[in-house]
Chains A and B, each alone.
Chain A
Amino acid sequence: MKSLLNSALGLALGVASATVAVADGHAKELTIAIVNNGHMINMQKVAEAYTEETGVKLNWVSLEEGVLREQVTSDTATGGGQYDIINIGMQEAPIWGAAGWIEPLNFGADYDVDDMLPAMRNGLSHDGTLYAAPFYGESSMVMYRKDLTDAAGVAIADNDSWDNVKAAAAAIHNPDAGVYGACLRGKPGWGDNMAFVTTVVNSFGGAWFDADFKPQLESDEWKAAINFYVDLLGDYGPPGSEGNSFNEILALYNEGKCGMWIDATIAASFLTQPGVAYAQSPNAGNPVGANWLWAWAMAVPAGSPNAAESQAFIEWATSKEYIKAVGNHPDFGWGKVPTGTRASTYAIPEFQAAAPFAAAEMAAIESAAPAATDIKPYVGVQFAAIPEFPEVGTAVAQEIAAALSGAKSVDEALAAAQEAANAIMSEAGYF
């Protein structure tokens, strides 16, 4: 009898400890979906210290941006729990927060949420609640070769007029020497050409939708902006611009083929050509400048079984301490810290010394205006934070690329874009 009791007790203890081990093992492993870029890749190495300190094993699933969106969207929408932490952008964060697809984030006092740049915090919140913490943020600005502008006797000022920018592009344009006046995104995609084009439209006083969310693509402002864009890139851009996006232009710039490039501020950290200068994005005299606002942020899908551990990791990965850890890491250093998220980063002397673009980047982020206005009745600068935007943006992007390649006139392209956008918005029930 005693032996039977001992056996039963042993079995019960064994089962209990196995259960604890399983439960413990479950909580000590997080699966993180990340977009593949330099900062995220570096995080995997820096986070080894987090695993050592906490014992939490991190499984990294690195995906191309488009595939990441597709996977994360389907996983979040089906409540599948495939990931504990997801990388999302500023377009998704407020929408998913409002839909209850991601958890609100609550961090401790040490996190110093007030240190987060206001534009980033607002862009990743819904109704004042933060749903995603920015890992790195960016705006856009003009990056140009000062040796060429000096030689041509022209200058590009902060928030210069588009006419002056075009004149500068004309002055430094020298295709015989393999140098093109202006390199801009032309590849169709809502996050490709439309990111830049939307900021041009903003600066011309236009908007995607009116107050009733009716597309405004045939407005005078859109026509003026697209004609300007097509002329500027057509006259002074490299051949085949309709196939160029960030990476293609980065390669051209580093080969010395671009006199000027207006794009994401993060590009500055990749430029290897000497003598690069920065200027705030141009404007056509309107309150909203042509600089965008974007962040890759980290969020916790709703219903995640490891929500507490996930929030703890996000709190660490987006903290001031993390930025210091990257800056002091022997493999990385201060030139590779994730920027565009915290005001305190820009006050670090080592960072200022390692990143000559720091001041221009912060000024660009701070001046970006994502909030809804009378002219632009939606949140977002280079996108509209509505679920239908990727579809509308992609359809319009094709038409703008057709205008750029000469396959259609600007008026034809905008008429077709308006028709496509109307159909999508109408089907979605806006009108």
Chain B
Amino acid sequence: MATITQSSKLGNVLWPALAWMVALIFFFPIFWLVFTSFKTDADAVKPEFLFSFTPTLENYANMTENYDYWRFAINSVITSSFATLFALAVGVPAAYAMAFDPSRHTKDILMWMLSTKMLPAAAVLYPMTFLTKNFLGIFDTHFLVILVLCLINLPIVIWMLFTYFKEIPKEIIEAGKMDGVSLWGEIKDILIPLAWGGIASTALLTFIFCWNEAYWTVRLTTVDAATLSKLIEGNRAPEGLFFGRLSAVSTAAVAPIIILGWFCQKQLVQGLTFGAVK
């Protein structure tokens, strides 16, 4: 009995300590990023100013004065929000059909959708650039960025929603049908209220993926639809150590998504661990 108590006491100390350690390891890069953003470019690379330095807002001022941060930020908000909305608008009915009215090809379709994520993006860069610029004339538009962000995240959206919907007893939907509820009514009045948590966490994750997407947003935009990823990319320098200003730009780019994640962490954890214990 004494042994059990001792080991549980040890566990009470060890596990939280381990959890704190892991949390600190994950948090440290963010902390260092924010910390460095308040140093000048010169101080950021000098060991003598590692912890002791005079904080400055010069990098943030430079970012708004010289780089028009707000234009990039507004573009990120617009493209990520609409891409998430459209992905859900397509994903919810698709996942509904596959979860409640599966055919013998449903699994194959799901696998095929997932397989599109295995295509290296660089493989279609040239055709995408040529088509969107020379043929469709939609290069560097919000429409194109929203379309691309929506399409590249659609497989994940459908997979996540499918997993959620599968947890809802089919009988509830069938009972609705028996009561004469229309198809739209089934989705709107039965499915969405029941799976609201899952849909919310899917939306959150999709928004984060859209916000963080860099490959396409950097390459399919110039000025008008350029997002924060492009702003960060433009601050990487091959000749010169501009770590202070790069840190400020990166901090300002990730801050909104970190704040959003902080407030919605419950839903995010729920979304990521859903079905894990079954």
* Chain A residues with a Cβ under 8 A of chain B: 31, 35-38, 41, 44-45, 59, 61-65, 67, 70-71, 74-75, 78-80, 82-83, 191, 245-247, 250-251, 254-255, 264, 266-267, 270, 272
Cross-chain contact B223 with A61 (CB below 8 angstroms): yes
Cross-chain contact B234 with A251 (CB below 8 angstroms): no
Known: A80-B134, A270-B241. A36 touches B234 (CB 8 A): yes
- Please tell me which one of the listed residues A41, A82, A251 contacts residue B133 in the complex, with CB atoms under 8 A apart: A82
Cross-chain contact A78 with B239 (CB below 8 angstroms): no
Query: Could you say which of B42-50, B77-85, B93-101, B188-196 contacts chain A?
Result: B42-50
Cross-chain contact B42 with A63 (CB below 8 angstroms): no
Known: A44-B66, A45-B66, A82-B139. A74 touches B129 (CB 8 A): yes
Cross-chain contact B42 with A61 (CB below 8 angstroms): no
Residues of B within 8 A of A59 (CB): 222-223
Query: Is B167 located at the chain interface by the 8 A CB criterion?
Result: no
Cross-chain contact A37 with B237 (CB below 8 angstroms): yes
- Nearest opposing residue in chain B for A270, CB measure: B240
Q: Mark B125-140, 1 if CB is under 8 A from A, else 0.
A: 1100110011000011
Cross-chain contact A71 with B66 (CB below 8 angstroms): no
Residues of B within 8 A of A64 (CB): 233-234, 236-238
CA A19 to CA B24, docked complex, whole Å: 60
CA A270 to CA B42, docked complex, whole Å: 9
Residues of B within 8 A of A45 (CB): 66
Residues of A within 8 A of B130 (CB): 78
- Please tell me which one of the listed residues A65, A78, A267 contacts residue B134 in the complex, with CB atoms under 8 A apart: A78
Q: How far is the CB of A170 from chain B (nearest CB, A)?
A: 26
- Nearest opposing residue in chain B for A251, CB measure: B45
Q: Given known contacts A37-B239, A82-B133, A247-B241, what 6 new A-B pairs fall within 8 Å (CB)?
A: A45-B66, A65-B238, A80-B129, A247-B238, A254-B241, A270-B240
Known: A41-B66, A270-B240. A63 touches B234 (CB 8 A): yes
Known: A37-B239, A264-B239, A270-B240. A254 touches B66 (CB 8 A): no
Total number of residue pairs linking A and B with CB closer than 8 Å:
91
CA A208 to CA B17, docked complex, whole Å: 57
- Please tell me which one of the listed residues A36, A245, A267 contacts residue B235 in the complex, with CB atoms under 8 A apart: A36
CA A267 to CA B129, docked complex, whole Å: 36
CA A35 to CA B235, docked complex, whole Å: 9
- Nearest opposing residue in chain A for B67, CB measure: A62
Residues of B within 8 A of A63 (CB): 218, 233-234
CA A38 to CA B239, docked complex, whole Å: 8
- Nearest opposing residue in chain B for A45, CB measure: B66
Q: Mark B88-120, 1 if CB is under 8 A from A, else 0.
A: 000000000000000000000000000000000
User: Could you write out 9 A-B pairs with CB less than 8 Å apart?
Assistant: A31-B222, A36-B242, A37-B237, A61-B230, A62-B235, A74-B126, A79-B134, A254-B45, A270-B240
5 shortest interchain CB distances as A-B pairs: A62-B234, A64-B236, A80-B133, A65-B238, A36-B237
- Nearest opposing residue in chain B for A41, CB measure: B66
Residues of B within 8 A of A31 (CB): 222-223
Q: How far is the CB of A136 from chain B (nearest CB, A)?
A: 10
Cross-chain contact A247 with B139 (CB below 8 angstroms): no
- Please tell me which one of the listed residues A36, A246, A266 contacts residue B236 in the complex, with CB atoms under 8 A apart: A36
Q: Mark B205-228, 1 if CB is under 8 A from A, else 0.
A: 000000000000011001100100
Cross-chain contact A251 with B239 (CB below 8 angstroms): no
CA A429 to CA B218, docked complex, whole Å: 33
CA A266 to CA B47, docked complex, whole Å: 23
Q: How far is the CB of A182 from chain B (nearest CB, A)?
A: 20
Cross-chain contact B219 with A247 (CB below 8 angstroms): no
- Nearest opposing residue in chain A for B42, CB measure: A272
Of B67, B219, B233, B234, chain A has the most CB atoms within 10 Å of the CB of B234
Residues of B within 8 A of A71 (CB): 219
CA A61 to CA B224, docked complex, whole Å: 11
Cross-chain contact A266 with B140 (CB below 8 angstroms): no
CA A272 to CA B42, docked complex, whole Å: 9
Residues of B within 8 A of A82 (CB): 133, 139-140, 222
Cross-chain contact A38 with B240 (CB below 8 angstroms): yes
Q: How far is the CB of B122 from chain A (nearest CB, A)?
A: 9
Q: How far is the CB of B261 from chain A (nearest CB, A)?
A: 27
CA A74 to CA B242, docked complex, whole Å: 28
- Please tell me which one of the listed residues A67, A78, A255, A270 contacts residue B47 in the complex, with CB atoms under 8 A apart: A255
CA A174 to CA B156, docked complex, whole Å: 54
Residues of A within 8 A of B42 (CB): 272
Chain B contacts with A in 54-89, Cβ cutoff 8 A:
66-67
- Nearest opposing residue in chain B for A44, CB measure: B66
Q: Mark B18-59, 1 if CB is under 8 A from A, else 0.
A: 000000000000000000000000100111000000000000
CA A153 to CA B240, docked complex, whole Å: 32
Of B67, B226, B240, chain A has the most CB atoms within 10 Å of the CB of B240
Q: How far is the CB of B94 from chain A (nearest CB, A)?
A: 33
- Please tell me which one of the listed residues B129, B223, B230, B242 contacts residue A78 in the complex, with CB atoms under 8 A apart: B129
- Nearest opposing residue in chain A for B245, CB measure: A41
CA A264 to CA B240, docked complex, whole Å: 11
Residues of A within 8 A of B66 (CB): 41, 44-45
Residues of A within 8 A of B240 (CB): 37-38, 247, 250, 270
Residues of A within 8 A of B125 (CB): 70, 74
CA A80 to CA B134, docked complex, whole Å: 6
Cross-chain contact B226 with A61 (CB below 8 angstroms): yes
Cross-chain contact A37 with B238 (CB below 8 angstroms): yes
Q: How far is the CB of A27 from chain B (nearest CB, A)?
A: 16
Cross-chain contact B218 with A246 (CB below 8 angstroms): no
- Nearest opposing residue in chain B for A189, CB measure: B238
- Nearest opposing residue in chain B for A40, CB measure: B237
CA A71 to CA B236, docked complex, whole Å: 15
